[in-house]
Amino acid sequence: MIGWVKQCMKPLMIDKETLALDTIAEVVRNDGDFLQTDNTLLHCREDWYPDLTERLNYDAWKAEGGLTLRERARKKVDSILAEHRPSPLSSDITNALAKMVE
């Protein structure tokens, strides 16, 4: 939820590129679709979608196992705990921390 709010609170970028009036005119003129335009390809991944949110319809969700949000979160936590290996701290940071606790 916090991620969605942060995404919604970002200021809108309105310029020639984001308005894409030339792309709109081309699609309308050629009776095409927006999914195959360079502009869509360039911008389609700009919006943030949380990993745990399910966007399938009910039947597809059920066919893929029908995991609840809690079950998906538990699975992700288990995966992170099993696989994540944090990078070691640099010697500068380690030395600074050691000085703090002396």
pLDDT at 32: 87
Q: Is the pLDDT of residue 37 over 80?
A: yes
Q: Mean pLDDT throughout 71-79?
A: 94
- Are 48 and 7 in contact by the 8 Å Cβ rule? The answer is yes
Model pTM score:
0.47
> Which comes out higher in pLDDT, residue 1 or 26?
26
Give the angle subtended at the CA of 28 by the CAs of 37 and 22, to the nearest 5°. Answer: 60
pLDDT at 63: 95
71: pLDDT confidence band, cut at 50, 70 and 90? very high
Mean pLDDT estimate for the chain: 89
Per-residue exposure over 42-63, b if at least 16 CB sit within 10 Å of its own CB, e if not? eeeeeeeeeeeeeeeeeeeeee
What is the band of 13 on the pLDDT scale with cuts at 50, 70, 90? confident
Residue 3's pLDDT is 75
pLDDT at 77: 95
- Domain spans of the chain, in order of start: 1-50, 54-102
Helices (H), the chain: 2-9, 16-19, 21-29, 38-43, 58-63, 69-83, 91-101
